[in-house]
Structure formats: structure tokens, C-alpha cells
Amino acid sequence: MEASHPAVPWDRDELTVGDLAARSGVAVSALHFYERKGLISSRRTSGNQRRYRRETLRRVAFIRVSQRVGIPLADIGAALATLPGDRTPTAKDWRRISQAWHDDLDARIEQLSRLRDHLTDCIGCGCLSLRRCALTNPHDELAEAGPGPRTLLVEGLEPDGSDRPA
């Protein structure tokens, strides 16, 4: 209802949840979910239906890209929360928050590379001594962001240092 003309310019600028879903390729249920989690927000019509600003399209795109990079929704939400609320985010704003992902990704890639390079030494050799292995050594370990196990591997496998391979 809003006004009796359904296609005035400033109405054109708003998207229904279905529009947003179609345009972003994200299911309506996921958009509702993101909204419950505070990652996106909407205005309600007098009939209680959601209307999104076009800017939301970019937020959703950012969410999906970030998830693909392996960032949990909570972190994405925190990053989005740093965007200005009083104006539409600029290229600079997006660049700033994407920089954090870039750094995160760098660290993650570095860590995975180390992991890979030690895999053969540590598992491949069959000894897998947790005490000595670089793979399982917490010192080797950084903040570990992103998916995957967060618990660190600890302590010694063989108290006597031997490993009894057979």
C-alpha cells in the first residue's frame, strides 16, 4: 500500500524478499535467516512484508563471497556491522572490510601450506609422533580462523620417545 502507485521511482528501488532471492541466488529462507541474525535488515510495509533497499543486494553478495572464503556468519555479521549506518557504503568501505578477509585468507593459506608440507613427514612416515611432529605442535599454530577443528593437538604420544611402529 505505501502509496497507491506501485511503480514510483522510490518504490522501484525496493526489493521484495522474493526479488532479493531471485537476484542473489539465495533462498528466501536463508534471507530470513540472515535477517534474524542481523546481517541484513528490511523495512516493513503496512501489510508486514519485507522491503529491502537495493544496497542489500550487495550485502548479500558480500555474505556469500565471504562464506565461500570460509568465514563464519557471525564474523561476517561483525564486519558488516562496521559499515556506516547513516549512508550507503562506498567502494572504500567495502575495500576496507574485504581487506580483513584477504589477510585472513593469507594466513589460512600459509597454514595449510605448512600443513601440507609436513603431512608426508608426519603421517607419511608412519611414526606420527605427536610430541615431535610439526603438524601437531601448537607452537606451529596461529589463530586458526575459519572452518575446521579449532582444538589444538597436544602432548606426547610416547612418553618414552619411542613409538613402537609395530
Partner DNA sequence: GGTTGACCTCAACAAAGGTTCAGGTTAGAG
Partner DNA sequence: CTCTAACCTGAACCTTTGTTGAGGTCAACC
Per the structure block, which three cell numbers stand in for 3?
A: 502509496
Q: Which stretch binds DNA (CB under 7 A): 27-35, 82-90, 107-115, 125-133?
A: 27-35
State which H helix or E strand residue 15 sits in: strand 14-15
Nearer to a second copy, 48 or 82 (CB): 82
Q: Give the span between the Cα atoms of 104 and 102, in whole angstroms.
A: 5
Nearest to residue 62, comparing CAs of 100, 88, 98? Answer: 98
With CB under 5 to 8 Å by kind, the binding choice for 19 among DNA, a second copy, none is DNA
Per the structure block, which three cell numbers stand in for 162?
A: 619411542
- Is there binding between residue 157 and a second copy (CB under 8 A)? yes
Nearer to DNA, 28 or 134 (CB): 28
Look up residue 142 and give its amino acid: L
> Site map for DNA, 49-88, x if CB under 7 A?
xx----------------x----xxx--------------
Contacts within 8 Å (CB) and 24+ apart, 1-4? 1/45, 1/46, 1/47, 2/45, 2/46
Question: DSSP for 85-128?
Answer: SSS---HHHHHHHHHHHHHHHHHHHHHHHHHHHHHIIIIITS--
Site for a second copy in 35-54 (CB under 8 A): 54
- Is there binding between residue 115 and a second copy (CB under 8 A)? yes
- Is there binding between residue 25 and a second copy (CB under 8 A)? yes
Q: Of these, 81, 112, 142, 143, which contacts a second copy (CB under 8 A)?
A: 112
Nearer to DNA, 6 or 85 (CB): 6
Site for a second copy in 57-86 (CB under 8 A): 57-58, 61-62, 64-65, 67-70
- Is there binding between residue 18 and DNA (CB under 7 A)? yes
